[in-house]
Structure 1
Amino acid sequence: MYAPTTMTDFNPSKPVASPVEKLKLEWAYGYRGRDGRNNLYLLPTGEMIYFIAAVIVLYNVDEQIQRHYTGHNDDVKSLSVHPDKITIASGQVAGHDKKEGKPHIRIWNSLSLQTLHVLGLGHFDRAVSCIAFSKFDGGQYLCAVDEANEHIMSVWHWQKETKLIESKTSADPVLACDFHPGDKNIIVTCGKGHISFWNFENNILTKKQGIYEKHEKPKFVNCIAFASNGDVMSGDSNGNIQIWGRGTNKISHVILNAHDGTVFTICSLPDGNFLSGGKDRNIIKWDANYKKTASSKLDEVYGSIRMLSCEKGSQIIVGTTKNNILMGSFDLQWSPVVYGHVEELWGLAVHPTQHQFLTAGEDKNVFLWDAHKHSIVWQKCVPEGAHSAIFHPNGNFFVIGLNSGRWIVFEIASQQIISSHTDGNEQIECLSFSPDGAYLGVGSRDNIIYVYNITEEGRKYSRVGRCIGHSSFVTHIDWSVDSQYLQSNSGDYEILYWNGANCKQISSVSQLRDVEWATNNCTLAFNVCGIWPEGADGTDINACCRAPRAHNLLASADDFGKVNLFRYPCYQPRANCHTFSGHSSHVTNVQFVHDDSKLLSTGGKDTSILQWNVSA
């Protein structure tokens, strides 16, 4: 890498301060419904509470306002609301950092978002998979189950931050735990192949296994709830709902084939009725005598029903396995209020002139989002998993790169396919239009960059040639401001330069040292080399981007769930930066909107999209 000829006083040891600007989380798109449980509730404030990645979202749908609790540093796995409806407990998985990332529980105030207590640092193994406040005594105790080999259940006096007792529960996963609302010191747990009734007295836990007798024992007991008369209700993988007599470990009644397939959730209603939801996408209302009184079925596009929640009134909120949240009732249609990707997410593109952006994921979903209204404009399905996305500079077209080597051009207004091409048979890693809109660079996992000439204002694409020279897959492409040259990075940390018009490699790198690059999205380049932390390997930074208008900021996405903000240019080794948490897995992409006012970031396995405000 060569410094520009104008830089005569370059001193790599001279420290550079972090930027004045910082990021504040404005909106979190998505919901963890695919594998989350007991993670969606309504609060008296009118907000629904749920989690995605390491963020707990408090979302008021009527006022279109989100607040966020960001005390966790990795995936939130469990959630419980105290009987006072203000205090919240949330549990997380083991994080990236061996010292700071231990699984633990945080108790916090949902009005002020202040952390009140931290429980269990060093006590839990792998993750806190389910938690529950006691109810009979006004919420004095907290029960938690971790993901150790024997799934240890512990009971805490949470205000004193002391563990009272712990016990092994089962070698199989535990999916739910809850205190009985009407009987003191009774805890119920359920999971793979079991339901257990615990008595917690004088700091001793005693267990009775649920006895099925003549009834078929299910492979999984997925959920529990409490009837108005104190009976325990459980839903299983056979589609049945069992009623366990209050104070016993025996079945008093069974609703056979309540659902076609697994029952994922049961929700008790204040009037003594209850709801159930399952894999068959049916929401069913039952009366106190276990008779069906109403039912409704969600469209297939939303997925199965993971979680149901309802407070006073008829409004029901539904969390689904395709990471959507819907609101509605049996009298009204179900309206989606939260959309999300379900599988790994890498594709992100911002509109060149509007506050809109695209995301494209392995789940074959492409969303166009409105960053002002925090809503989707439309959702589209592509034929296979998508990995990359970009807008044409005129803002009228966009391109989606797929896993098979195919890439498709769409018109935004009609969402119709304008053009479709296939280059190689491996994943399209990255896409880049030249600033004048005349060329498209297509970076493939087959180590080649395919260059296309564009005519008819973005409608017609004809191949110019192939840039062959990388010895690993192409990770990033950037055009020069004058649309003449390309620079590219690859999986083995190469930086190569090319003539865009004839696809010839430029081996005399020094002659391009003064070239100005359009986006500076190559993670390996002179003006961005300071984003690499000490000891990093070449895979630790997944993406970077420069503020497109002011050119004063540089953001990076790393493998540790962090979004980092630097001054630009950023050529001092291990430059100072501001670091922001919210994602839990590797952050796959970052992009500023066209006027630098917001930054968007995507999480890979956590499937989240976080929108940050940029302000001094």
Structure 2
Amino acid sequence: MQASAFSGRVQWWIIAWSFFLLNPAVESRAESQNERPTSIAVRKTIATATEQQDAESATSSVCTATTETLRKNQKMTHAGAHALTLQWAFGVNTALPVFSLQDSDQLVILYAGAHVGVIYNHTTNSQNLLQGHSNQLSCLCLNEDRRWLATADKGLNSLVIIWDSYSGIPVHTLFDCHPEGGVIAMAFSKDTKLLVTLGAAETQRVCVWDWTVETEKPQCFTILSPQFGFQSYIMFNPNDSTQLLSSSESQVLMYNRTEESLDWFVAEFNKPIDKPVGSYCQSVFQQRKPQTLTATTAGKIVVWDLMKDSADSQSLTVTLTNVISLQKDPITVLTVTDSYIVTGDPRGYIYFYNDDLKILCSFTEFNLDAIASISFSKECAPIDAEGYPESCTLEAEPFIVRDFVVSTFSSTVVHVKARGSIPQILLDEHCDPLHAVACHPTQPAVAVGSYSCILKVWDYNSKLTICRRDFDKAKQIQCLAFDPQGLYLAVGFVSGAIHILNPDTLQSNPDECFHVTEDSIHHITFSADSKYLATADAGKAVTVFRLQVDDILTRWKYLGRHYSHYKPIKDLLFGVQLDSNHPRLLSLGMDRRLVEYDLENSEEHKLLILCSERIEQSAVPLCMIWYPPLTTEQFLLVASDRYKMKLLNSTTKMCRKTILGPTYGSPVEKLVVLPTSTQRDTDSHYLAYITKDKVGLQILPVDGNPYKSNALISHPVGASALSCSYDGRFVFTAGGSDCMLLTWEICLNALEGAAALGGKDMTPFYSLLEGGRHGYFYREMEELFVFCQIRYQGIDYIKKRQLSNKIPLTEVPFLMRALGLFPTEQEIEDMENEVKFSKYADTGKYVTDIDLEEFIKLYINHRPAFNIFTDDLLQTFHTLGVDDGSGHTVLQRDEMLEQLQAKGEHMTEDEVVECFSTLSGLSEQDLDKTDIAESEYSLECVIPQEITMETFTGQILGFPSCAVQSDERSPPAE
């Protein structure tokens, strides 16, 4: 095939991808990249367990742990061992209960936050974070004496981890115990020896594990029928560990366990019910009667009798005894403590009943929202009755009960001392999606806003709230930004409103509250001199405000607004002009355009555009930052959805370098340059970034070395925002729908050490090639590199050849194609510019040749990060073709030839003929016509009138059907 047949025209990317599929070296390389651990957390768990076993061989930290051990461990820091260490978790998962661990001399609670369990000591204001899961936690449970706790998640690589709550050490891990979808509920038995897990798959499985022994199989299990609804709650009978119950919204199931089997029985209505009972919420066992109680959304309690068949001890009958109306409001919590039955409701009221469900006491003065969970102290109530509230009985005796912890669905957690009925607020967090986070430029403070309409400023050193403001319910906070001097805090709302606040008081001047659009504000930023404020909204428009300074007042004024993009705006950035230090403003959109605005000439109500450049052909840019001054040129660093980063000249917008970015499952979505600090031991510059679910660090300059990057799972359901402290010590990530803000401590020495382990010079890049430095693919590159030198000098050259270690820059496209990479003309131009101008700023001269090592870097950085699959070809046909009525997408021959010559990087008629002559094996004279219309007649033998995917790959390209690879990704979008 002639090299010019694939001249890089954009319409022929389908052909290029198809050849890419058949290149074994490229396939193997992509597979080797995909060999990254699917769960970083799993590896950490295994490593932790191994280290713990070695430690236990000498002196067991678990066996010697006491309630004081965790408090001592909290004072120790291990931040230096990792580049990023989770230091604090702001927020609580209201879908899971909050448990009381200690409340005698220390007030300690357990709750879930994103993918970590949090042991929070309110007395010392410290946290111990239980890390090991790669998915968001789906359930927590404690044993009766609060010594052992278990955490579980649902999703890919789901885990169940049992922890020692005294030391915070994981003691046992169940890997993929429910591979179908993870765990939705679990519970310990009375003696703590057994753990029951309830699967989260559509067809649920209940497993009972003896976690005290080394085993990968459950002691017994059973599979549930989906007809009884999705079971979401399970527990052991505290009086008989052979009995269990689970419940869904419509059905309660009872289980009878033996050593080898687990049988389940349906709770049945054996008599008619006059009124509907509502949906089931929670169920519990009576402590003094063989009964179970089920709470409903209609405020009723359904009482079930448990009876064992005397002839068959394994047979269990569950029948309806009574339906009791307790209250008008739904029951959100049902639990048992000592001899009391306890309920919580949406009004924040808590009621205590006796075994006969007669009310004993109520707590209605706490001013709480809907109750989510109630957990009682493990310490028994004192005998002394002084200070306890009176019961609701006729005798009005003191009502003596344990202290308890209450959580609400609005993310408030309070501790209630029953003696005196005194509530103490432990947590008051965001309960709605959290997307806004910004760090103060000169102080250890971070501002956090959410859809809860709450704005908080935290001191991240002391972990205390500096100030707080609650906005109206219509003011859901979407984004935040401090100005570089720390004088203003700008808030963007979902409603389109923009408030400029005093960061010390969080109050605003009514004249500085703007509402120029109804679209949600997605980006907000200040200029370096604090004189301009810009926003980008969901309406694809950019709005600019200017600080008006006169003799009397200094006030923000509206400048102008411009609909500068036709697709969503992904980033908004202020910079400084090189020659005048005046601010410059740029926006980046999914329409692949980089727009710069003319701030100097813009007038009130008239925002002008200076230039608009298309910076990508097929990739979608996601974020941008100003590249640190590592060179004499000023660059913009832009990251795209193809796992690539590009350095663009800040003035000409020319692409000067393409780099392979971090490949941790999803592309980089936000970037921030870490501030330089006098406390650093290194002189390098660094980036912090987030992907869909991870947070990471990158050593600069970027060059494609994968060992210079590091990432950890931050928010499994999706990270939404990123900010860095003014001193570069901490990175903060917001989790969006998980309502969490996580604080990550940075250790740059650990990052540098990990990069050094990857090797020096070319060693990291050789590892990205199939077989490495001594593999077949590298030898093939060497041979083709030499052949390019011979080809450039001429194959018929008869004099003695003078070969060197470099090839001319003009040979790079041919060598790329020979290696299975088929770049477009624009990509070829980017490659040539990257090499040509690599030393121009320093020497004033162009680079006209390239050696093998430089070419390897160029190849690695420009090739696709991952393999191309059938779905990509299908997506192309869905885009270009039409449905033929039978569910298949076809592309008409005439339309294909027209698009090849009229759209994208246009092909000439000669190039079309040359390509098809090569593909068909015909000579160019057979297809050479002066009019493409006449050429179509000759092309009929090669190209049918209607082209399907199979026709294109099989008949035109000549690939066998087995050559078209497939992955397990979702089908192409319509």
Q: Same fold (TM over 0.5)?
A: yes
Structure 1 residues 520 and 391: CA distance shift in structure 2, 3 A = farther
Q: Secondary structure at the match of 2:570?
A: strand
Q: How far apart, CA to CA, are the structure 2 residues paired with 1:151 and 1:509?
A: 51
Paired amino acid for 2:686: L
Residue in 2 aligned with 1:249? 318
Conserved in 1, the CA contact under 8 Å of 2:366 and 2:423?
Answer: no
Paired amino acid for 1:319: S
Residue in 2 aligned with 1:267? 335
1:555 lines up with 2:555 in the alignment: no
1:233-290: CA deviation from partner (whole Å, max 9, x where unpaired): 33221112334446562455654134x43222223224x2242112232111223443
Paired amino acid for 2:325: L
Instruction: Using the TM superposition, give the Cα deviation of residue 54 of structure 1 relative to its aligned residue in structure 2, in angstroms.
Output: 0.4
1:423 lines up with 2:516 in the alignment: yes
1:106-134: CA deviation from partner (whole Å, max 9, x where unpaired): 22333343333332516342231100111
Instruction: Using the TM superposition, give the Cα deviation of residue 298 of structure 1 relative to its aligned residue in structure 2, in angstroms.
Output: 6.8
1:115 to 164, 167, 170: 170
1:567 lines up with 2:704 in the alignment: no
Q: How far apart, CA to CA, are the structure 2 residues paired with 1:520 and 1:350?
A: 22
Q: Secondary structure at the match of 2:240?
A: coil
Q: How far apart, CA to CA, are the structure 2 residues paired with 1:455 and 1:49?
A: 51
Instruction: Using the TM superposition, give the Cα deviation of residue 395 of structure 1 relative to its aligned residue in structure 2, in angstroms.
Output: 2.7
1:141 to 194, 212, 232: 194
Instruction: Using the TM superposition, give the Cα deviation of residue 587 of structure 1 relative to its aligned residue in structure 2, in angstroms.
Output: 0.9
Structure 1 residues 316 and 39: CA distance shift in structure 2, 3 A = closer
Instruction: Using the TM superposition, give the Cα deviation of residue 432 of structure 1 relative to its aligned residue in structure 2, in angstroms.
Output: 0.6
Which stretch of structure 1 is more off in the superposition, 339-348 or 58-67? 339-348
1:179-207: CA deviation from partner (whole Å, max 9, x where unpaired): 11111310011111111221112422222
Paired amino acid for 2:220: I
Residues 163-562 of structure 1: pairs in structure 2 closer than 5 A: 163-171=218-226, 172-212=229-269, 213-215=271-273, 216=275, 218-230=277-289, 231-245=291-305, 247=307, 249-252=318-321, 254-258=323-327, 260-270=328-338, 272-297=339-364, 303-311=369-377, 312=379, 313=381, 314-329=402-417, 331-376=420-465, 377-382=467-472, 383-418=474-509, 419-455=512-548, 460-466=555-561, 468-481=563-576, 482-502=581-601, 503-506=608-611, 526=647, 532-534=661-663, 540-550=667-677, 552-559=685-692, 561-562=693-694
Paired amino acid for 2:350: I
Q: Secondary structure at the match of 2:180?
A: coil
Q: How far apart, CA to CA, are the structure 2 residues paired with 1:310 and 1:183?
A: 21
Q: How far apart, CA to CA, are the structure 2 residues paired with 1:170 and 1:552?
A: 57
Which stretch of structure 1 is more off in the superposition, 598-607 or 449-458? 449-458
Paired amino acid for 1:145: L
Q: How far apart, CA to CA, are the structure 2 residues paired with 1:492 and 1:536?
A: 24
1:515-541: CA deviation from partner (whole Å, max 9, x where unpaired): 769x9898876399868334977xx33
Q: How far apart, CA to CA, are the structure 2 residues paired with 1:367 and 1:493?
A: 35
Root-mean-square deviation over aligned CA pairs: 3.3
Q: Which stretches in structure 2 are left out of the alignment for 5+ residues?
A: 1-79, 308-316, 382-401, 602-607, 616-626, 649-656, 678-683, 750-974
Conserved in 2, the CA contact under 8 Å of 1:365 and 1:380?
Answer: yes
Paired amino acid for 2:298: N
Q: How far apart, CA to CA, are the structure 2 residues paired with 1:581 and 1:562?
A: 4
Conserved in 1, the CA contact under 8 Å of 2:662 and 2:668?
Answer: no
1:586 to 718, 738, 748: 718
Paired amino acid for 2:242: N
Conserved in 2, the CA contact under 8 Å of 1:29 and 1:610?
Answer: yes
Q: Of Structure 1 and Structure 2, which has the larger fraction of its residues in strand?
A: 1
1:80 lines up with 2:135 in the alignment: no
Q: How far apart, CA to CA, are the structure 2 residues paired with 1:206 and 1:345?
A: 44
Q: How far apart, CA to CA, are the structure 2 residues paired with 1:370 and 1:266?
A: 37
Conserved in 2, the CA contact under 8 Å of 1:521 and 1:546?
Answer: no
TM-score (norm 2): 0.55
Which stretch of structure 1 is more off in the superposition, 72-81 or 346-355? 346-355
Considering only CA atoms, is the larger Rg found in Structure 1 or Structure 2?
2
Q: How far apart, CA to CA, are the structure 2 residues paired with 1:217 and 1:103?
A: 38
Paired amino acid for 2:335: C
Q: How far apart, CA to CA, are the structure 1 residues paired with 2:647 and 2:346?
A: 52
1:52-104: CA deviation from partner (whole Å, max 9, x where unpaired): 1101101111111100111000111011113453222222111xxxxxx3333
Structure 1 residues 202 and 291: CA distance shift in structure 2, 3 A = same
Conserved in 2, the CA contact under 8 Å of 1:42 and 1:309?
Answer: no
1:563-588: CA deviation from partner (whole Å, max 9, x where unpaired): 10112444547563221224221111
Conserved in 1, the CA contact under 8 Å of 2:101 and 2:146?
Answer: no
Conserved in 2, the CA contact under 8 Å of 1:477 and 1:521?
Answer: no
Instruction: Using the TM superposition, give the Cα deviation of residue 38 of structure 1 relative to its aligned residue in structure 2, in angstroms.
Output: 4.2
Paired amino acid for 1:337: L
Q: How far apart, CA to CA, are the structure 2 residues paired with 1:167 and 1:414?
A: 58
Structure 1 residues 305 and 591: CA distance shift in structure 2, 3 A = same
Conserved in 2, the CA contact under 8 Å of 1:31 and 1:339?
Answer: no
Structure 1 residues 279 and 468: CA distance shift in structure 2, 3 A = closer
Structure 1 residues 89 and 164: CA distance shift in structure 2, 3 A = same
Q: Secondary structure at the match of 2:595?
A: strand
Structure 1 residues 129 and 123: CA distance shift in structure 2, 3 A = closer
Q: Secondary structure at the match of 2:492?
A: strand
Q: Secondary structure at the match of 1:59?
A: strand
Q: Secondary structure at the match of 2:219?
A: strand
Q: How far apart, CA to CA, are the structure 1 residues paired with 2:646 and 2:197?
A: 48
Structure 1 residues 274 and 516: CA distance shift in structure 2, 3 A = farther
Structure 1 residues 562 and 571: CA distance shift in structure 2, 3 A = same
Structure 1 residues 166 and 456: CA distance shift in structure 2, 3 A = farther
Structure 1 residues 508 and 93: CA distance shift in structure 2, 3 A = closer
Residue in 1 aligned with 2:846? none
Conserved in 1, the CA contact under 8 Å of 2:151 and 2:161?
Answer: yes
Residue in 2 aligned with 1:15? none
1:369-404: CA deviation from partner (whole Å, max 9, x where unpaired): 221232333242242332111123343432211223
Residue in 1 aligned with 2:116? 55
Residue in 2 aligned with 1:8? none
Structure 1 residues 552 and 282: CA distance shift in structure 2, 3 A = same
Q: How far apart, CA to CA, are the structure 2 residues paired with 1:161 and 1:324?
A: 39
Instruction: Using the TM superposition, give the Cα deviation of residue 42 of structure 1 relative to its aligned residue in structure 2, in angstroms.
Output: 2.4
Q: How far apart, CA to CA, are the structure 1 residues paired with 2:292 and 2:375?
A: 17
Instruction: Using the TM superposition, give the Cα deviation of residue 464 of structure 1 relative to its aligned residue in structure 2, in angstroms.
Output: 2.9
Structure 1 residues 504 and 596: CA distance shift in structure 2, 3 A = same
Conserved in 1, the CA contact under 8 Å of 2:162 and 2:170?
Answer: yes
* Paired residues, number: 581
